[in-house]
Structure formats: structure tokens, C-alpha cells
Amino acid sequence: MKRHPMIRRFSTLFTSLFMATVANAQKSSPGPVFRLDGGNATYAFGVNERGDLQTLYWGGRIGSQDAIPPAHSFPEWASFDSTNTTTPQEYSGWGAGLFTEPALKITFADGTRDLALRFVNATPDGTQATDVLLKDISRDIFVTLHYSMDAETGILGRSAKIVNREKLPVMIEQMAAAQWTLPPARYTLSYLTGRWAGEWTLNQGLIRPGARIIESRRGTTGHQANPWFAISRDTSQNPGGIPTAPEESGEVWFGALAWSGSWRFTIDETQFDFVRMTGGFNPFDFGYKLNPGESLESPVFYGGYSNHGLGGASRLLHRFEIAHILPQAPNPRPRPVIYNSWEATEFNVSEAAQIALAEKAASIGVDRFVMDDGWFGQRKDDHAGLGDWYVNPQKFPNGLKPVIDKVHSLGMDFGLWVEPEMVNPDSDLYRKHPEWVLNFPGRPRTEQRNQLVLNLARPDVKQYIEGFLNKLLSENDIAFLKWDYNRNWSEPGWDHLPPDEQKKIYVEFIRNLYAILADLRKKHPKVEIESCSGGGGRVDLGILRYTDEVWPSDNTDPFDRLSMQDGFTYAYTPQVMMAWVTDSPHWLNSRSTTLAYRMLSSMQGSLGIGANLNNWTPEEFATAKRLIAAYHAVQRTIAQGDLYRLISPRNGSEFSSTETVSRDKSQAVVFAFTHSTQQGRGFPLLQLQGLDPNAEYTLTWIEGTARAGTPDRASGAWWMNHGIDLDLRGDFVAAAFRLDQRR
Ligand code: DGJ
């Protein structure tokens, strides 16, 4: 008998007694099978004889004529684990003896806490998108599961919508966007964690029995962990040894949640050795009351599959983000090279000082001049002003116009910093509307950076923020907003709602944020937006639908940035990864580096300059000008090409290197960095990847020189097989070159 792969793998791990029961179960009649194909992936699920929606297959694409065997529920395990627990379901309700992580948990008005979802119908039954309707066995709770498969990358978007058609309200206590199941095997989990100025650390470890929770309880995406995961099939033959997650080979399943509020991933190796990933709204402190007729839609949880290792997985995600997520998808323009004034002037902005910086920025080829914090209200430092979005008359007696006009006359466009969701207690806004902030009446309001969070879930707050942003953008010729968000939530109360509705804030705040961003983009289609949250605290596929770029970290140390950028690119495309060149020695680590090293580090992403140009030497201006010109010439390849992380900078690596190949393989750009040369060891041979082996490529140095004997041109096969030997030695030195196909 030919069995479905999941059952086949399952069978190897279970006793014959168990399998005998499986065989019996297969005698009853199951329901339809649904299959979605895209890129190199197939995803399949089916309705078993109980009516559960059961996961059947997720992996490499299978032949279009191949049949997926129908779903059969798994039997109970002795008297302790019911079928509901043993059967991997697509979206499990908590009830009927479920001991794995549920997707949905609700309490009915009569106190019943039992939900058993069964298949009703599916529309349409296509290969790219399907909606599947489930319903509780007796109550009028309906769940629609949306599936949408991207034909090119095979990335599947999944989300859920719950509708209450009962006569009384229900309380949703836990709601995932999706659950994903992998069959028993040895797997390595990769995930990203961090803190302020230390974001994007890639963590890897073997998945073991039990659950691992990766989450944010902060009301926002957070620096602490990012809503992305990858699971590599670990085929190493050392069961007790170090987990492996190869960069360019092997099977990888990955996912990212499009949500900018509190979120949670539970990665569970069940007692039956399946791996289950459940992700969506964070159930911690969650409670969403659904009145009769109301519905709640989850965020979208995207999942994909690659058989080219973590590198293949991130290349798929990058393509998908560029083609389907970003506001300018499918053809986002490469980011303008920006100058940002923050590290040069901090809050001390003024017309004259900004114009002086703008003139210098224009002279090196910057495209966009961004004035950061300090221009509004009574903002002298971080104690006052947030909430009062009028131009500070002492600093800008003639408004913003003279600065903007000057920036335009220098051939750049103009961007401005805002932090719309925040208020300082020392502001006119707070004095007028103290009730507008997140708070629990009668309890202290915890300040961080001397600020409180406005309750954006409130319609009046939403209206205020929309109002001032529209006014700002209508009255000034602004091409870009840097949208900051410098603290996380505390006392998340919404006191003008009844107590059993107040926790809706976890959803409504974020929905209103998205609504404001969508409305702004509609009304001001030329304005581009950056998501910043004290660095990388709000980077996710939800905010990236509305923002063109993100600020990965306030840590601009060029060496730290190498490993942060490495971590970042596992989940997000370099197209959105802003990277500024700032001053040396660096304020955080006191590390001194050359300007060329700093420039090359930032050129791995979307380049910006954030140094105090007033202190630069003529030589530094010349270096920056030369490298910005070189960057402009290859920027689309770097930002939107296929990224190969050739040598990882992680774990104290002496060396690191990346290569990006344009989608048509006509160009490749390579960066190489040292931390320190030790014991005379030379830079490792770089064998390039992803080139056309039969095409000829010409070598041009952006920074650095070739070792004697390196050809000026050679075939793709030569660069990939023979490789290039760099003459790179010393501490914190860098090189970059491009290869261009001769046509
Ligand atoms: C935090 C941001 O990450 C910085 O770049 C800068 O904009 C400051 N906020 C301004 O307050």
C-alpha cells in the first residue's frame, strides 16, 4: 500500500499496534483533499473521516499527476491522548481533549469552553487559493481559513477569520493565524532575537520535545524577538552532536507573521514527535469579545519551503517581499541614498545648521536629506514636545520652507522625523487630553524616555494623528517620513470601554496604525515611509505592507552591523535595510574604523550617511563621493538581487563576505570584511555562487585590489569553481568588487 509521506514517516516511529489501528481507520471514508502548488513547493491538507481538517503534506513540489492520499485521523494513544491530540490539524479548536497547542480557544456566554471545528465547505478549490469554512460541532461559531499560494516562490499565506453567529457574545482567548506541521525528524530551529542596539542575533538549536515560545508581549513587534522562524531538516549523522542548519543545502521550512502587535510562536515537538508551529496574536493578556454577528480576522502567517538551505529560504522571502509585500511591489524603487541629521545634531536642529549639513550631503551625491527629532513643539531634549506637531518657532522662525527649498535646490528631496503614537507629559496635547494615553485609572503611568503611549485604538486619537500628519504633508513638500516609536506598552488599559472589551486594544491599536498608514499613502502617494522603533523594534511583514524601508538598529557600529545585517537578511530583504555611515570612533563600542570600511558595511544594505559632515576632511568627502557613485551604479543588484552569505560574520568570525547576484545574472556584487587577521592567515578563497557558468564576467574593483594573477575577466564557472583569492589583511579592512556579464 502506498501511504502518504506524513503517514509513512509517522509509521517508522510508531509501534505496530498503533499502525494496526491506523490501517483500521483508513477503512472509513475520508473527505476531499486540497492541494496548493507554487514555486518548488506543494502544500496539502484534507478532510478526514471525522471531518477534521488535517495536514497532509508540506515540502518539495510533487508531480502534478501525483495523487495525495486522503486524510485519515490518527487513533487515540492508549487512553491518554485522544484522536484530537494525535491528529495533526490545520486549525485546532481547544476542546475534546486537545493537549497540543490550540489555534483557537474561546469561552461561550454560558461558560462552555469546548470547541470542535469540523469542515463545512471550501471555495474555490483551486491550486493557488482556497477558503475553507469550518464550524463547531454544535455552536454557531464559524472559522474561515484563507490559503493563498504564490506561484513563483511557493510561499503560502494563511490566515483565519472567526465569526460569531451565536445569539450571545463569546470571548476569544487565543487565536492563531495558522498552524504548520512537520513530520517526525531531526530539525534545527533558527530564530532572531535581540535588544535595543543589539537586534538580529540568529539563534540556532535542535528542536527537542516540549514547546519553545518566541514572542512579544510588548504591544508591538519588539526588539527582543522577531516574528520569523526557519526549521532546517538536520540530516547530520551525529544525533548527539551540534545541530546543523546548512546555508546552501538541505530542506528548510520557514515562516513570518505579518503583525506589528504582540505576537507569539509556539514551536512544539509533540509527544508523537511531530513538530507544530502555531503563530498569531499573543494569547498572553488577550481577550477579544465577539458580539453576535461580529468577526475577528487574524494576521497573515506566511510559510515557505526551500531545498537550498537557509540561503535559499531567505532568497525566496526576499523575492516575495519585493513582489508582494512592499507598498511599491512588485517594482519598489531602490531607496534613495539618504543623509540623516540625528547623530550629527541630535535635538539641536535649526535652519542654519540643517542647511549647512544639506550642502555638504549634496556634495557627495546624497539623494534625500532627512531632518530627525527636535524640530517641533517645545522639543529641546526627550523631556518635552511629543504630541505637539507644530514647527518650533525658535528653531525655524520661517517654518520648514526655507530648509525644504534649500534641500530641493541642492537636488535632494526632503524627509522628516515623526513619532505620532507618543506623547510627553510635558506637552500641550497631554495637558489637554491626559485621558488619551494607555493607562489604568488610578494607577501610575509608567514613563519610558519620559513619554507615554497614546491609545491609538481610540477613534479620537486616530483622528488627531491622521489630522496632524495630513496637515504636515499637505503644507510642506515632504517626500519621506521616518516614523519612530520609542517605547513599548505599559498599563495597556482602554478605560472608556467596558472591562470585558478593553483587551481589544491589542488588535484595534494595530489596525488603526495600519489604517492611518494606508490612508496617508492614499492621500499622499509620493510620500515614502520608514518604520523605526528605536532601531529595529518594529520590523515585520505587517508594517512592511505600508512602509518602504526600516531602520534595523540604532547601533551603527560598522562591525556590529555586519552580523546584525547578516541576521536581518534571514528574514528581510536588503531593499528595506537602511544602513548609515556614522562617525568614528563609534559612540557605542568606541571602535575606530576607516571611512571606507564604514561605507562598505553600509553598502550591503540601503545606504545612508549619518555622520557629522561638519567634521569631515576633504579626503573623506572624496572617499564618500566615490563610493556613493559606485553604490548607485550597483544598488539595484545589492538591494533586490539574490543574496548569498558566503562567509558568516557571526560567532566572532575573523572574516565575512556576501555576494548578491542580479535576478538576470548579469551582475554580481561582492563584499568582504576582516575583523582581524590572526597568525598571518589570509582571507579565505571566495568561490562565488549563482552566476551563469557559461557567461563571461568582467571584474571591477569598488574598493581594494586583486591579488596578482587574478584575471580581469573569466567565465561564471571560473569565478564559482576556481574562486577569487583576496589580498585582504589587517584589522577592520574591507574590499568590494563587481562582476559584469559581457554581452
Ligand atoms: C530613535 C531612532 O532610532 C533614532 O534614529 C533617532 O531617530 C531617535 N529615535 C530620535 O529621537
- Residue among 554, 557, 560, 740 flagged as catalytic: 554
For residues 474 and 234, give the distance between their C-alpha atoms in angstroms, rounded to a whole number: 55
pLDDT at 385 over 90: yes
Catalytic residue among 114, 413, 484, 740: 484
Whose C-alpha lies nearest to ligand 1, atom 11? 373
User: Ligand 1: distance of its center to the CA of 696 in Å?
Assistant: 45
% of the chain with per-residue pLDDT over 90: 91
Choose between 439 and 678: higher pLDDT.
Answer: 439
Backbone dihedral angles phi then psi of residue 51, each to the nearest 5 degrees: 95, 5
Residue 506 Cα to ligand 1 midpoint, Å, equals: 25
Is 460 a known active-site residue? no
pLDDT of residue 239: 64
The superfamily CATH assigns to domain 30-325 is alpha-galactosidase from lactobacil brevis (2.70.98.60)
- Could you identify the atom of ligand 1 that is nearest to the CA of residue 533? 3
Pairing of strands 187-193, 288-290: unpaired
pTM: 0.95
Which atom of ligand 1 is closest in space to residue 532's alpha carbon?
3
Query: How high is the mean pLDDT of the chain?
Result: 94
Distance of alpha carbon 376 from alpha carbon 385, whole angstroms? 7
Predicted local distance difference test score (pLDDT) of residue 446 = 98
Rounded distance from Cα 450 to ligand 1 centre (Å): 14
Task: Assess whether 131 carries a catalytic annotation.
Answer: no
Vertex 242 angle, CA 239 and 245, to 5°: 100
- Of the candidates 112, 182, 192, 180, the one whose C-alpha atom is nearest the C-alpha of residue 147 is 180
How far is ligand 1, taken at its centre, from the CA of residue 529, in Å? 15
Distances (CA, A) of 107 to 97, 139, 141, 169, 555: 16, 12, 11, 9, 45
Superfamily of domain 338-639: Aldolase class I (3.20.20.70)
Give the mean pLDDT of 561-581. 98
pLDDT of residue 416: 98
pLDDT of residue 25: 37
The answer on pLDDT for 589 being more than 50 is yes
The model's pLDDT over 219-256, given as tens digits with 9 standing for 90+, comes to 999 999 999 999 999 888 766 667 788 999 999 999 99
CA–CA separation, 279 vs 557, rounded Å?
A: 33
Nearest CA owner, ligand 1 atom 10: 373
pLDDT tens-digit map of 527-568: 999 999 999 999 999 999 999 999 999 999 999 999 999 999
Structure confidence at residue 30 as a pLDDT band (50, 70, 90): confident
* Protein residue with its CA nearest to atom 1 in ligand 1: 534
CA 709 to ligand 1 centroid distance, Å: 47
Q: Provide mean pLDDT across the span 659-664.
A: 98
Query: Residue 529, Cα to own-chain centre: how many angstroms?
Result: 16
Beta bridge partners of 175: 104
Tens-place pLDDT, residues 333-365? 999 999 999 999 999 999 999 999 999 999 999
Tell me what pLDDT residue 13 has: 30
Residue range 56-94, pLDDT digits in tens: 999 999 999 999 999 999 999 999 999 999 999 999 999
pLDDT score for 22: 35
Is the peptide bond preceding residue 330 cis, with omega within 30 degrees of 0?
yes
Fold equal for 338-639 and 647-741: no
- Cα dihedral 111, 112, 117, 121 in deg (nearest 10): -70
The answer to whether residue 95 scores a pLDDT higher than 50 is yes
List all residues whose CB is within 6 A of at least one atom of ligand 1: 342, 372-373, 417, 484, 486, 532, 534-535, 551, 554
Closest ligand 1 atom to residue 482 Cα is 7
- CA-closest residue to ligand 1 atom 3: 534
Classify 647-741 by CATH class. Answer: mainly beta
CB-neighbour burial class of residue 718 (10 A; exposed 0-12, middle 13-18, buried 19+): middle
Res 470: pLDDT = 98
Instruction: Sketch the domain layout of the chain as residue ranges.
Output: 30-325, 338-639, 647-741
